[in-house]
Amino acid sequence: MKFWKIWAGVALCAVTLAGTVASARPAQDAGKTATEDEIVPKGKEMNWGDASDPDAKVKNGKPVAKGWVSLFDGKTLKGWTYEKGYWEVKDGAIVGDKKGNTPHHHYMFSDKDFKDFEMHIDMKMTGYNSGVCARINPKSFDDVPGYQVDMGDGYWGCLWDEHHRQKKIFDFPKEEADKILHKEGWNHYYFKMSGTHITIYLNGVKTAEGDDPGGFESGPVGFQLCHGANTVASFRNIYVKLLSPALPGTAPKSVEQSEP
């Protein structure tokens, strides 16, 4: 759970960690981002990052460049571990729904670990808080230290370290996120993790970039349903490009019985 918020000014703030200064910088004007009905346009090529980056380009929900691998077949939860009752496939998306207030978090994990990689993913959320997790070290489906490319009011575009350092690593001002966010609609994250260097784009706008030597080096990717008020989070068009080989999975196995 996020126990506090770091107040952001109009300018993007610099984060100092272990002597390293990491800053979040917009790559382009918020006005250049796609409109809500263009998130996954049929037949139109979208650029979700720097114009010169071929890996930023997506068409019909799929990256155009070679070397990208899908983590979701659009029909089943093959390749994922989860608590049954909280996660399902619906209308071509992975959907997490707590169906009410819960005292525990509820996560879903990939059955492989990833170290250096890039990811494209569409996501939407109603409710309190969720996130796209990366390089996590899950101890259970409730206790999951590691990175979250965050989702939630005041957290969109940020990088959070959950149950480890328990703080924002890179911040992005809420007022700037609100300009590019399609609230309760589909949005797109494109992010890169290579060594200690991390870059995040939300709907084509760079919201964070910098070095963080204090994070975990590898782990599963996954999704969070935060404890507290109800959250419904959906994810689709999930692709990774490996910059180093995938590793054997360290996530817990799926369970039939779920805690509230």
Mean pLDDT of 37-61: 87
> Shortest CA distance to 105 belongs to which of 77, 49, 146, 46?
146
| 109 conformational bin, left if phi > 0, alpha if psi -120 to 50, beta if neither | beta
What is the rounded CA–CA span in Å between residue 228 and residue 107? 14
Enclosing H/E stretch for 69: strand 68-70
Structure tokens at 48: 């979700």
**What pLDDT score was predicted for residue 234?**
98
- The predicted-structure confidence for 96-142, as pLDDT tens digits, reads as follows 999 999 999 999 999 999 999 999 999 999 999 999 999 999 999 99
- In DSSP terms, 232 is beta-bridged to 97, 126
Lowest mean pLDDT among 11-15, 181-185, 217-221: 11-15
pLDDT band at 43; cut points 50, 70, 90: confident
Domain boundary assignment for the chain: 23-31+41-247
**What pLDDT score was predicted for residue 257?**
64
pTM comes to 0.86
CATH 3.30.470.20 fits 23-31+41-247, yes or no: no
What is the rounded CA–CA span in Å between residue 116 and residue 2? 26
Q: State the average pLDDT for the chain.
A: 87
- The predicted-structure confidence for 136-189, as pLDDT tens digits, reads as follows 999 999 999 999 999 999 999 999 999 999 999 999 999 999 999 999 999 999
